[in-house]
A and B are shown apart, each in its own frame.
Chain A
Amino acid sequence: MAEVPAPVATTLPHRSRTGRQGVRGSAPSGPPGPPGAPAGAPAAHGARAPREVPGWLWSLPPVAALALVFLYPLALVVQQSFSPENGGGAFDAYASVFRSHSFREALGTTVWLAAGATAGCLVLGFVLALIIAFVPFPGAKGVAKFIDVFLSFPSFLITLALLFIYGTVGMANGLWTGVSGSTEGPFHFLTTPWGVLLAEITYFTPFVMRPLLAAFSQLDTAQLEVASSLGAKPARIVRRVILPESLPALAAGGSLVLVMCLNEFGIVLFTGAKDVTTLPMLVYGKAILESDYAAACVVAVVNIAISVGLFGLYRVVSKRAGA
């Protein structure tokens, strides 16, 4: 155990020290026994028993660390949203932000983009996972690996790639002008919300596919064989057997993607479109570009409320799904 405390303390040389000394001071010789200690253990350790630390004390250092570097800053954001630096009433910042056109537009854009991207990811992810799992082809395993690798790349790479594919002088427009002879291609959606939607669907679909593939691998294939031997067509099997079985995985993956889309920043930033503003973009713009921290904190509080609420929902859904 001696190896564990040292690095944590370096993250937090400030407040966790008290917690750590408390633990050290009361447990100089031995940390508490294992959780599932057999009944005979107290007799064997009887001599040391009074010096043992109760289990909850061990959870204090990490919780204190989290409180100092995460909960305390969040509390400060909430506090600052209620007390603007240049004076004024507690809800002045809220009133002015809620009244502003840019906030309402950003809220609307964020919600419809997230909802649209989630719906797109669910449909696309279901179809792709279905084919990988039930119409396997040589290399299907490799594709599943590729999906895992895809997840480890940052999201803005997709927008960067879309610039080359659908940009004004990119691949698609180049092909079009080459074939039709016109001077300008038909694809100009990249700087509109549709470009962001396409990038989000591309990037987040693997997040739906992974739980789905896991659920499909647990599905008893005998069910499919029976249904098909009884004369059910593939579409009917998908609708009546596979879809009900995969609903929990779909719900869990979908709500995770919804939260992640609401909070997506890199994709929108790289699009570089002036008229696509989401809540995270608004936080960034208010804080860094306009130095209006009170307004940034208000938008941040709204953003936290929406996404923490949805994330709670995701936890409940995924617990129920057993995922």
Chain B
Amino acid sequence: MLVHSKTGRWAAWCLFGLLFLPLFALPLLVVVTASFSTHWSGAFPSGPTTENYAAAVRGESLRALTTSLVTALVASLLALTTGTWAALAAARLKRRGKRSMDALFMLPVAVPSVVVGLAVLVAFSKPPVLLNGTSSIVVLAHTILVTAFAHQSVSAAIVRLDPAYEQAAASLGARPAYVLWRVKLPLLLPSLTAAAGLCFALSMGELSATMMLYPPDWMPLPVRIFTATDRGSLFAGSAVAVVLMATTLLVLLAVSRVRTRATYR
């Protein structure tokens, strides 16, 4: 306890409320409120409606939602596989090799996502690999962007892993593949699911690289929100944004439940 006087404590809490509520709570509240309204000219919105949501879960918006879900799912799985493999392989390397591999896999975080989009667009718009205009170019870009996060969280978990378990298994005659499948991966499962949730959330909200390369028939949710608000339909856009937030939260919640059931250490 830093502040012992009662007035001092209340002053600190008031300061916190004054900073926290308008800056962090209000924006989310406003978006949710706007998604239920038709007008906002004045202090408060007017014209309560659920029509925005009806529009948000049919037609083009529904297609955008499924597009985003499929993209995020495929990208997370690919990123998780690559990132986990790289982290496991890097853990076996010597100090310098491990360091350079970590740096290599963290590089996509440092490169601006717009530039990742541009690079993928430049590289795969011409033979030998022609992906431009297909859905796989979006999935590919998302995979590149989220692999770094999967790699980072899995390799952090590998460092914390107690080597005694695998040594015990190996000394009992378990083959390395068996040790990996029955000992290491189950022990890593909590961080794997956490990484999957992180990748999924990042991919669901990815806008920068997607804006560079989405084809007309594969428009993810964030792009849909942008086109809606750019046209001036802010309320319809807010409803789609709330759908995006709710979907992300639901998936994160589901993933955290898996984690609690898998944590038996």
Contacts and interface: CB of A to CB of B under 8 A. Distances in A.
Interface stretch (A96-104, A151-159, A245-253): A151-159
Interface residues of A, number: 108
A189 interface: no
Interface in A121-136: 124, 127-128, 130-132, 134-136
A265 B211 contact: yes
A288 B177 contact: no
Interface string A45-76: 00000000001101101110110011011101
Given A4-B85, A162-B27, A128 B19 contact: yes
Interface stretch (B50-58, B59-67, B103-111, B257-265): B103-111
A228 B241 CA distance: 47
Interface residues of B, number: 107
Contacts, number: 302
Nearest to A256: B109
Question: Which of A56, A154, A259, A308 has the most chain B CB atoms inside 10 A of its CB?
Answer: A154
B38 interface: no
The main secondary structure of chain A at its interface with chain B is helix
B112 A304 contact: yes
B196 interface: no
B30 A269 contact: no
B96 to A, nearest CB: 11
Given A163-B234, A234-B3, A288-B212, A76 B119 contact: yes
A304 B245 CA distance: 30
A284 B81 contact: no
B118 A300 contact: yes
A31 B132 CA distance: 38
Contacts of A33: 170, 176
Contacts of A128: 16, 19-20
Interface in B172-209: 173, 175-177, 179-181, 198, 201-202, 204-208
A290 interface: no
A2 B180 CA distance: 11
B42 A156 contact: no
Contacts of B89: 55, 58-59, 62
A58 B44 CA distance: 60
B157 interface: no
A77 B122 contact: yes
Given A163-B234, A169-B41, A157 B245 contact: yes
25 contacts: A8-B85, A11-B140, A34-B166, A62-B83, A62-B86, A69-B143, A74-B119, A146-B24, A152-B202, A152-B248, A154-B244, A156-B207, A161-B27, A163-B234, A171-B40, A174-B41, A174-B42, A174-B44, A262-B112, A266-B222, A280-B115, A283-B115, A303-B114, A303-B115, A307-B110
Given A1-B180, A11-B82, 6 more contacts: A31-B180, A56-B97, A59-B101, A66-B86, A70-B108, A269-B207
